[in-house]
Amino acid sequence: MNIQSRIAILGGAQSMLGAHRDDVRLEELVFEAAEAALDDAGVKRSELDTVVLAGSDQMDGRSISSMVTACPAGAYLKDEIRTTIEGSFAAVLACMRILSGEFETALAVTWTKTSESPYDLVSSLSYDPFYQRPIGLSDVIDAAAAVSTYTGSKSTLADAACSVVVKNRSNGEVNPRAFLRYPMARETIDDSPYVAYPIRRAEIPQACDGAVAVLFGSAQRAKAIDHQPVWVDGVGWATGEYGIGVDPPVHMRALRAAAARAYAMAGVVDPSREFNFAEIFDGTPYHEIFAYEALGLTPDGLGPAFILDGASERHGALPVNPSGGLQATNLRFASGMSRILEAYLQLSGRAGPVQVASPRQGIAHGATTYPAQSHAIFVMRNY
Amino acid sequence: MSIKTAIIGVGQTGYRFKRTDVTMQELAQEAAAKALEHAKMEMDEIEAFVLGIAPDALSGIDNVDRWIGQALGVTPRPQLRVNTGGTTGAAAAQAGYIHVASGMFRTVMVLAADKVSETPDAQWVLNTAMDPIYERSLALNAINMCSFQAVRQMHQYGVTERQLAAVAVRSRQNAMANPYAHLREPISIDDVLSSRYICWPLKLLDCCPRSSGACAVIMAAEQVAVSSPNRPVWIQGMGATSNTVYMGDKMGPGRDTDHADWDELAMAAATAYRRAGITDPLEQIDVAEIYAPFTCTELAAVEALGFCPKGLGGQMNEQGMFDMRGPMPVNPSGGVLSANPISATALARVAEAALQVMGDAGEHQVPGVRRAVATGIGGTLQFHTCMVLGEDL
Amino acid sequence: MSDMATASSPLIHPGEWHIHYDYAVGEIAERFFTELRDNATIYALRCPSCKLVFVPPRAYCERCFVRTTDWVKIGPEGVIEAFTIVYEPFDGLPVPPYAVAYVTLDGASTALANFVTDVDLSDPEQASAALAIGNRVIVDFVDERKGLITDFHYRLL
């Protein structure tokens, strides 16, 4: 299905970030992002047709957390719905709502305030209570086990992982929107202890609190704003096996399925040549490397070489996470929407010090945390 | 612009207090298999999935939707979860509709499941839905938030406890003909009036049960739906309206909407009706499946849907207006008062409404249904949905 | 297969969730709770656009979508807008019976929930008549206030 120039991004913004945004309640954090996104687009709340939320009850410590966040996100007496998989799935639903022709504008809002909740404990509750939870599985442990299924050189992979962290942290250093704005030295990573072999403490980014909002609109609505819209020309999403499944996890079968759908929709044939940048999930650096391959940015088996050769550096052939990614801004549940926002800013020429030169097309990727079971891919253009 | 979308298959497990014989994902499998059988389809033909799973703590597994996907053998197909509290199943149905109406998928399965019996007390979980800073320590939960509505109805419209009881009696009478319903023993007005107070003025028999069960609905685009062996049930219109979480905002002098009424449902219905071309709901709608977990909520709903003037729901109900053979049959399935598998409850309303239009509702079929309406409710009576289903494209 | 045990009774694996959360109250609510604790006063926030006085205080007006600005002292008397009397015990919730009411405190545009004390709840009919919508109440502050919503409750006038 061709959806070219039918879904526009009209604006977007994030709240102030912080390790502990104790100065605001969850609702107030959400309001900050929604208000800023509407301001960015020059659209009033009264002009909104629908609000699409994404949030996780257990991370928020509130059952049905959209009860308190719906109105600060702009939904008072409006159409509103909430999804839970990952922040970027609010954008998935927003895109479909625009395509259906029943809505002209859709504000997608997501948030994370993990300073309030015990993250590791919450993550362990996602495992089934009979076979997995008693073993003490958590997302980092699961991710480490996933990495163990890699069949290439383990030392090259570890070296590449280290390089991804160094790259993303150095990008984050110059990104005014990033949370961690200082670099990470290779030695610091090498010296840091293993959390679960082979994943080191320094490879798991510190989380922050924040909210992100992106306003989607129809082609008709895009004509009415005074700046150049960015188009979402391909959307794909998929959910894979629960925990470590039938396929080697490093293959990222669900990500491949999601990308295949988005690429087909947008008419992308050779992603390694057609994208000017990629904003992708790097909850651990290993995920970024496996995603290079799953997304077709480089052939299978050459993921480590893609970073070691410098291709994904900010000034490389295909910059990956010029924003610094999750390594610099780990918004946990809201990370995928943060990737969409950064991709939007790149394509509208407003990425500031991390702007890549004249981008025309890029992708944004949202994924559930470390076991990386669910993925959403957005192909975005500015022409 | 949007692609015409129809419901072509429905599967329900039947709703019971406990289902200790199956796990959560096996329960979901059961409903999925029944829906496929009803639609005469194979799982391979389903292109995308929407799972409606309400608060995780009710079943005790975080993100159980991702467990269910694998159990259905549908990975790595597109899958999305919706959680909007009580509205979950209806919001999932709306999300399913959008999957097809957007043109992105030809078929989608909407599936919702719950095992509420595995948490000892759902009201404790639902108390954690309340604002942790201002309201949670005041012991607010799903029952007393509806008591606040009933009290205001009694004050503003003179609704009586007997009128509320009549809603429970009719619902149970209908449930007796529905093998899927959880509570099927007949009850009388006196039974309701003499049952113990839970949260005044609501008594035990004014309240829904806690149920376990699953429901699945298959939707398809026109090109697929027209060759279905079942009569396609077209989604003619939908609407949703969200309100503030603060119940107190709907009571004081600054209120836009009143906690006694479901003005938000009236707004959602206005949108759905406009899309469906309904100008006279009483004339153009043949049956309603209403998400009414407590007797008082049904009165607010029939008024909001335009079936009777504000404040007269109780009287009209006593006069038989909403009986199986009355002018506007409400909840022929027995409704939520007879079965409440929380995540699946609102989807069951859509499923039952679709069965009525298909003519497949069995013993509780209302004769000659051409158009049905299904509603959902969630949060602090703050999330409302309305969907109009009909036999005409 | 024939050697396998057959299920005789449902096998139940018990599980419990103990998740500790630290909810940030935020600067707005902190002012509310500080005034409540230190000065036994209840404050609301007024929207500069629609002029409605919201309690619990909110940093923004959900309707006008602007930040609220003016703190307004409300109460200590008010009028009952809705109430219930809980007679059923629920896990994790207080021992019944207890009465909860939404009250519009004088000067506020919205109603605020809290317990109503000093009402004989043994007879539902009499108790509900005493708590009827429209009846007036006054705020009673507890002596040892901790900066929580339960630092006060309502008492019938």
Tokens of B313: 């729901």
Q: Which domains does chain B have, with CATH numbers?
A: 5-120+210-221 (3.40.47.10)
Against chain B, the chains showing at least 3 CB pairs within 8 Å are A, C
Where does A72-208 show beta strands of DSSP type E?
79-83, 105-112, 194-196, 199-200
pLDDT of B150: 98
Average pLDDT over residues B100-111: 97
- Contacts (Cβ under 8 Å, ≥6 apart) of B240: A79, A80, A81, B87, B91, B94, B268, B271, B383, B384, B385, B386
| The amino acid at B213 | G
| Cβ-based contacts under 8 A for chains A and B | 186
Q: What value, to the nearest 5°, has the Cα angle with vertex A32 and ends A27 and A36?
A: 145
Where do the domains of chain A lie, and which CATH numbers do they carry? 7-118+207-223 (3.40.47.10)
Selected residue with higher pLDDT from A340 and A116: A340
**Cα Rg of chain C (Å, integer):** 22
Dist CA B89 CA B374 (whole Å): 11
Q: Does the pLDDT value for residue A381 go beyond 60?
A: yes
Per-residue pLDDT for C8 more than 70? no
Indicate the helix (H) or strand (E) that contains B222: helix B222-225
Label residue A246 by pLDDT band (50, 70, 90): low
Each residue's pLDDT tens digit, B250-287: 999 999 999 999 999 999 999 999 999 999 999 999 99
Q: Is the pLDDT of residue B302 over 80?
A: yes
- Average pLDDT value for chain A: 94
Pick the residue with more confidence: A148 or B205? Answer: B205
Chain A residue with the nearest C-alpha to that of B133: A25
The pLDDT value recorded for residue C41 is 97
CA distances to A371, B235, B382, C62 from A77, rounded to whole Å, are 37, 23, 9, 10
Phi, psi of A235 (to 5 degrees): -135, 130
Provide, rounded to the nearest whole percent, the portion of chain B with pLDDT above 70: 98
Q: Where are the domains of chain C?
A: 26-156
H or E element in which residue B304 lies: helix B295-304
CB-based contacts of B107, cutoff 8 Å, min separation 6: B41, B45, B46, B47, B48, B100, B218, B219, B220, B221, B224
Average pLDDT over every residue of B157-184: 98
CB burial class (10 A; 0-12, 13-18, 19+) of residue C34?
A: middle
Per-residue confidence (pLDDT) for residue B133, from 0 to 100: 81
CA B344, CA A40: separation in Å to the nearest integer?
39
Closest partner residue to C24 (CB to CB) among A24, A121, A125 is A24
Whether the predicted pLDDT of B209 surpasses 90: yes
Res B167 pLDDT > 60: yes
Angle at B68 between CA B63 and CA B69, to 5 degrees: 100
> Is residue B120 very low, low, confident or very high in pLDDT (cuts 50, 70, 90)?
low
Could you say which of C94, C124, C128 has the minimum Cβ distance to residue B139? C94
Task: Let me know: does B109 contact B46? Beta carbons within 8 Å.
Answer: yes
Q: What is the mean pLDDT of residues B179-197?
A: 97
Which chain C residues contact residue A116 at CB under 8 A?
Answer: 21-24
Interval B280-297 mean pLDDT: 98
Q: Which of B148, B241, B247, B255 to mutate to test the interface with C (most CBs of C within 10 A)?
A: B148
Q: What does the pLDDT read at residue A371?
A: 66
Nearest to C21 among A25, A74, A116 (CB): A116
Q: Does residue B201 have a cis peptide bond before it, meaning omega lies within 30 degrees of 0? A: yes
DSSP string, B135-187: TGGGT--HHHHHHHHHHHHHHHH---HHHHHHHHHHHHHHHTT-TT-S--S--
Q: Of the ranges A253-262, A329-338, A371-380, B329-338, which one carries the lowest mean pLDDT score?
A: A371-380
How many angstroms separate the CA of residue B240 from the nearest CA in chain C? 17
Band the pLDDT of B232: cuts 50, 70, 90: very high
Query: What are the pLDDT digits (tens) for A25-70?
Result: 999 999 999 999 999 999 999 999 999 999 998 888 888 899 999 9
**How close, in Å, is residue B198 to chain C by CA atoms?**
5
Lowest mean pLDDT among A144-148, B64-68, C100-104: B64-68
Poorest-pLDDT segment among A141-155, B196-210, B323-337: A141-155
Name all chains with 3 or more CB-CB pairs below 8 Å to chain C: A, B
Q: How confident is the model at residue A373 (pLDDT cuts 50, 70, 90)?
A: confident
Residue B127 has pLDDT above 80, yes or no: no
Mean per-residue pLDDT for B54-74?
80
pLDDT bracket for residue B130 (50, 70, 90): confident
B258-284 in b/e form (b: 16+ CB < 10 A) is: bbbbbbbbbbbbbbbbebbebeebeeb
Distance of residue B121 Cα from the nearest chain C Cα, in angstroms: 6
pLDDT tens, residue by residue, A86-130: 999 999 999 999 999 999 999 999 999 988 888 877 777 777 777
Encoded tokens for A6? 């039918």
pLDDT band at B38 (very low <50, low <70, confident <90, very high): very high
Average pLDDT over residues C41-60: 96
- Say if the Cβ atoms of C21 and B132 lie within 8 Å: yes
| Helix, strand, or coil (residue A185) | coil
Bigger pLDDT: C131 vs A60: C131
Residue of C20, C25, C59 lying closest to A118 (CB–CB):
C20
Q: Is C120 exposed, middle or buried (0-12, 13-18, 19+ CB in 10 A)?
A: exposed
Name the least confident of A54-58, B247-251, C131-135. Answer: A54-58
Contacts of residue A71 in chain C, CB cutoff 8 Å? 62
CA distance B154 to B201: 9
* CB-based contact A79 B75, cutoff 8 Å: no
The whole-chain average pLDDT of chain B stands at: 94
User: Considering the entire predicted model, what is its pTM?
Assistant: 0.96
Sign of CA dihedral C109, C111, C112, C115: positive
pLDDT category of residue C25 using cuts at 50, 70 and 90: confident
A 10 A CB-CB count for C133 gives: 18
pLDDT, tens digit, for every residue of B77-93? Answer: 999 999 999 999 999 99
pLDDT for position B2:
78
